[in-house]
């Protein structure tokens, strides 16, 4: 997978869906982030057509179908409207920082007899449903699965974007809008995506951060990477320096005078 100098995917790899409403270029050294979404739509084409409509105040750079087909709406040097009201770490308003990738997927499902029903009323077979716990929730529920070719296509595109642009971060919509959004959800291997692709880049450039600064007013430090895990010690104060030892499921294992787990978005890495 390659990206041309005009910021579109290489010819023959995608179908263009015209989306002239998006015209604002990214700022200097941007984009540097990829945001992964699911569509909660019936097909990739219908979702792409909807996002391209002039009367819809949302859009995305790409929509990836369950068969691996790709629809590109916006060139990668232009801001799309996929993140909405969003924040993570010390940033807000992720549209201006990020490329938005939508995956054709129904999201959460409700089991009814032998079928699994989406929020828009479409029924899916048991083979397309998985019972799993969302990273921002406490209990399991059913989610629409992603296909192998769809996931691989997403990995290939992200790898091409990392090679072409200044991409340093991959996040889920659920991480920049917790409580409001749940995509891409637990059926998508988000942690594997960023660990495989971004860790390789960091190893190649020797840029893996090992130190950081607390940016929350007080940051709980826990015995394991879970919001329900026991506290390791008193909260770490703002601006405290930490050593980053490990990353797992949106958490960082850090050391101050003690060692424990903290939420990743409240640490500003120092490179």
Among 190, 229, 142, which Cα is nearest to 37's?
190
Contacts of 93 (CB under 8 A, 6+ apart): 83, 85, 86, 87
Backbone angles phi, psi at 53, to 5 degrees: -65, 140
Alpha-carbon distance 111 to 113, whole Å? 6
Return d(Cα 132, Cα 140) in angstroms, integer: 5
Which of 133, 127, 157, 158 minimizes the C-alpha distance to 145?
127
* Count of Cβ atoms closer than 10 Å to residue 26 Cβ: 20
Residue 246 annotated among the catalytic residues of the structure: no
Q: How far is the C-alpha of 181 from the C-alpha of 166, rounded, in Å? A: 26
Cα–Cα distance, 168 to 63 (Å, whole number): 21
Closest C-alpha among 163, 153, 238, 164 to residue 188: 153
DSSP state of 96: G
Catalytic residue among 10, 16, 85, 102: 102
CB-based contact 130:244 (threshold 8 Å): no
Q: Which of the residues are catalytic?
A: 102
């Amino acid at each position: 997978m390659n990206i041309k100098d005009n910021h579109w995917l290489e010819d023959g790899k995608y179908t263009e869906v015209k989306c002239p409403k998006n015209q604002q270029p990214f700022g200097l050294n941007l984009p540097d982030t990829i945001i992964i979404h699911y569509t909660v739509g019936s097909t990739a084409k219908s979702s792409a057509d909807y996002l391209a409509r002039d009367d819809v105040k949302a859009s995305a750079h790409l929509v990836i179908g369950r068969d691996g087909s790709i629809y590109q709406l916006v060139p990668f040097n232009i801001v799309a409207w996929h993140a909405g009201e969003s924040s993570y770490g010390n940033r807000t308003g992720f549209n201006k920082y990020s490329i938005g990738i939508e995956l054709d997927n129904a999201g959460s499902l409700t089991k009814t007899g032998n079928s699994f029903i989406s929020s828009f009323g479409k029924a899916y077979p048991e083979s397309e449903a998985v019972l799993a716990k969302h990273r921002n929730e406490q209990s399991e529920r059913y989610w629409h699965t992603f296909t192998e070719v769809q996931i691989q296509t997403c990995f290939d595109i992200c790898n091409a974007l990392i090679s072409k642009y200044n991409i340093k971060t991959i996040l889920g919509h659920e991480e920049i809008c917790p409580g409001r959004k749940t995509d891409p959800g637990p059926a998508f291997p988000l942690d594997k995506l960023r660990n495989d692709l971004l860790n390789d880049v960091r190893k190649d450039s020797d840029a893996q951060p090992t130190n950081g600064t607390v940016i929350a007013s007080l940051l709980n430090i826990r015995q394991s990477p879970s919001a329900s895990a026991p506290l390791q010690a008193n909260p770490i104060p703002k601006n405290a320096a930490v050593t980053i030892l490990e990353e797992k499921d949106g958490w960082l294992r850090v050391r101050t005078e003690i060692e424990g787990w903290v939420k990743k978005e409240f640490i500003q890495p120092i490179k």
